[in-house]
A and B are shown apart, each in its own frame.
Chain A
Amino acid sequence: MNSNLHQAGVKLLKQLGRHADVIMDAYLSGSVNESTHDSGVIEKLKKSGILWRPEPDQELRLKRSVRALLEEGLSDERNRQIDSNVGSALATIKTLADHYKEARHNVDYGAAEAYLSDLSEHVYSFTDSLRYSIRVLWGRINNEFGYVGTINAKIRENELAQSQVTELLNGLEMFQFSELGEIAGDIRELRRLLITSLQETLSQCTQELSVVQGRLFELLGRFRQIQGRTRLLKGWLLHTDLHPDYQPDNHVAHNNIPNLFNCADAMLAPAHVDVTNSQHELELMQMVAQIKAISRDDKPTTIRETDVTFEMSAVEDFDVPDNPLKLAVDEYFCAVIDSGLRQSALEYLQNNQLEWDSESWLYQVIGGYEALPIEHKQYFELEPIGKPHPVYSGNFIVTDVELWLA
């Protein structure tokens, strides 16, 4: 019989695996569209109790147990089913414990062992489902009921979760450990199962549930605040629409002004100078005098409108226009060459009635001579004419120069 059960189970699981597509479609859309799937497959799934038809004219749906398996396995956040029926679990546990005790009493060890393993299964699955419920609740809290859109829906979801928590807590209160202790008596296996392990789990779960309850209240408070603000705004608009000449009462006319409206004026306003006040003139002048213009920081950077590229290129030829004074000096040199005579520079200036100042003329002549290339320079002789300074020795005052061909 046991091997039969094993085989049937494997067959069922294989069937689930083989038709995973159909099952997931049904899970996601809620029902199976019979026209899009093979009718043979549908029929098989129906027979093995995976799909069922709730009402004759309804579409096929997934069995609750399959759905629960998927919800748990996929940690689907839409899952809000919580098994809060603690009472029936407790009754089953008590009954099985009684069976076990009776079998032990009758020294039927085979039956006793079977009952004990059944009992352990129930106790463990009960604690597991309890922990699972708490996990589901936390999941919903942590994403703040994100699976529903509006604030009102969130508030309703929150209220549902709160009622589930209350039910779970009420259910847990039904566990009287003194009663379980009596049932367990002095049988070691029962005491371990019913007292030690259960008690520990239940006290943990109770603690956690009260934290969950606190968080739910907190969230509800926040949702209500948001909802309240939305309504407040809408209500205000409605009210002002209905009463166009509505003005709020003067709430600051009372002796005791509400703190909310005790709002001081801005004492620090942007500062500026009163230049029209003549009394401030002296101080302003002093201040202005102390102003140092440091312009390096706020030098406006010129922004070119277009990027001008700069290229290195060959230097173009350019002319420096000749200085007329220099040209006159050149002519003076040529005159000396033409005449071949010793000629005073100042005399030449006067003879040719040139307009240059005598001193700059002399400087230019001396400069012109010194600027000659060495091979030209040796054709000329230049002698300054002058006298030593009457007071300070070593200073020679040039009054004229003479130039001749060497």
Chain B
Amino acid sequence: MSNEINDSLETVLVGTGALIEQLLRGEFICRVTNEDGWRALKNSSTRERVEQYLNQINRTITSAGEGEVFFCGYLQLGENERKVISSQFKDICGALIPLVEWLVLVQEASGQDAPLSEGAPIRLTELQTRIEDTPAFSEQLTKLSHYRLFGSTSNNVDGQIKLVFKRLVELGYLTKPNAEKQIYIATGKLDYLYEVIRFIDETEGLSLEAQAETATQRELI
């Protein structure tokens, strides 16, 4: 009996151990990247345990995307922490334009209504054929792959798109569940990205949606 309790406690600890490591590596936890970890954080008791551990080293669990994405933030903000956050913010802002251009390209090239969001699959070979077949898409790809975020120097679609996807996996926006198949899945970090844009839109009063709306109406006319 006591053995059973010990066992279950151990598995819980082992499980949250991996989860805490992931959080401390600065990764985003969502249903796509780590379903077990995501469930553990959705559960208030395991979340409390992870939180207690993180609090000892001035970290806390932060969530975004309506509580579907978790990442590690600072519990208290001192001078150094603010510096880190400010540099992270600059990174995010610098990545916004290339990422948005990429999202729009993928949406338009695959002819979908919805922009990519967590859990959406992308078949790289299909996308590549569509981009190669349409000069406008290839141009867009060339433009966005030369941003510093992706840093491609290649001149052909194949090299550009492979590098872009590799970088996106490194940055945590995509995962590649099967190393042998060219299928990528969007992660919850993309939903985080939408939230960042929405935040900027709302706080700065850019009314981006209204701009897009009037633009499309003008096109219709």
How many angstroms between the C-alpha atoms of A317 and B183 in the bound complex? 60
Q: How far is the CA of A247 from the CA of B201 in the complex (A)?
A: 12
Residues in chain A near residue B216, CB distance under 8 A: 234
> Do B203 and A235 touch across chains, with their CB atoms under 8 A apart?
no
Residues 228-260 of chain A, each 1 if its beta carbon lies under 8 Å from chain B, else 0: 111111111111100000011111110001111
Q: Which residues of B contact A232 (CB under 8 A)?
A: 194, 197-198, 201, 208-209, 212
In the complex, the answer to whether A236 meets B197 with C-beta atoms within 8 Å is yes
A residues less than 8 Å from B64 (CB atoms): 259-260
Contact: A229 with B62, CB < 8 Å? Answer: no
**Cα A233 to Cα B98 with chains together (Å):** 11
Check B85 against A238 for contact (C-beta < 8 Å): no
**CB of B170 closer than 8 Å to a CB of A:** no
For the complex formed, measure the closest distance between the CB of A152 and the CB atoms of chain B, giving whole angstroms.
Answer: 9
Query: B74 near A262 (CB under 8 angstroms)?
Result: yes
Across-interface contacts of B171 in A (CB, < 8 A): none
A267 close to chain B: CB less than 8 A: yes
Once A231-B212, A259-B62 are accepted as A-B contacts, the answer to whether A265 and B100 lie under 8 Å apart by CB is no
Contact A229 B194 (CB under 8 A): yes
- B1-9, B18-26, B30-38, B153-161: which one contacts chain A? B18-26
User: B100-118, CB under 8 A of A: which get 1 and which 0?
Assistant: 1101100100000111010
A104-147 vs B, Cβ < 8 Å mask (1 yes, 0 no): 00000000000000000000000000000000000000000000
Beta-carbon contact of A230 and B114 below 8 Å: yes
> In the assembly, what is the distance between CA of A253 and CA of B103, in Å?
28
Interface residues of B in 59-95 (CB under 8 A from A): 59-60, 62-64, 71-74, 77, 81-82, 84-86, 88-89, 92-93
Distance in angstroms between the alpha carbons of A240 and B71 in the assembled complex:
28
Partner of A234, one of B59, B63, B71, B215: B215
Task: Specify which chain A residues have a CB less than 8 angstroms from the CB of B206 in the assembled complex.
Answer: 235, 239
Q: Are B199 and A265 in contact (CB under 8 A)?
A: no
CB distance from B193 to the nearest CB of A (A): 10
* Residues from chain A with Cβ under 8 Å of B117 in the complex: 226, 229
Q: How far is the CA of A237 from the CA of B215 in the complex (A)?
A: 12
A236 to B71, CA, bound (A): 25
Beta-carbon contact of B104 and A233 below 8 Å: yes
Q: Is A268 an interface residue (CB 8 A)?
A: yes
B86 and A253 contact, CB distance less than 8 A: yes
B57, B89, B115: the one within 8 Å of A226 (CB):
B115
Whether B113 pairs with A236 at a CB distance below 8 angstroms is: no
Task: Decide yes or no whether A13 CB sits under 8 A from chain B.
Answer: no
Cα A237 to Cα B210 in complex, Å, equals 13
A28 to B140, CA, bound (A): 41
User: Counting CB contacts under 8 A, is B196 at the interface?
Assistant: yes
Residue A352 is within 8 A (CB to CB) of chain B in the complex? no
- CB-CB nearest in chain B for A249: B204
A306 in the interface (beta carbon within 8 A): no
Assess the B208–A248 pair: CB atoms within 8 A.
no
**Residues of chain A within 8 A of B48, CB atoms compared:** none
Distance between A339 CB and nearest chain B CB, rounded to angstroms: 84
Are B107 and A266 closer than 8 Å at their CB atoms?
no
Residue pair B215, A240 in contact (C-beta under 8 Å): no
Q: Which residues of B contact A (CB under 8 A)?
A: 21, 24-26, 57, 59-60, 62-64, 71-74, 77, 81-82, 84-86, 88-89, 92-93, 96-97, 100-101, 103-104, 107, 113-115, 117, 192, 194-201, 203-204, 206-213, 215-216
7 other contacts beyond A251-B199, A263-B62, with CB at 8 A cut-off? A233-B115, A234-B208, A235-B208, A235-B209, A238-B211, A257-B85, A261-B92
10 tightest CB-CB pairs across the interface, nearest first? A235-B208, A266-B26, A262-B73, A234-B212, A235-B212, A231-B212, A151-B113, A231-B209, A226-B114, A267-B24
14 contacts between A and B (CB under 8 A): A229-B115, A232-B197, A234-B104, A234-B212, A235-B211, A237-B104, A238-B211, A239-B206, A250-B86, A250-B89, A262-B74, A264-B72, A264-B84, A267-B57
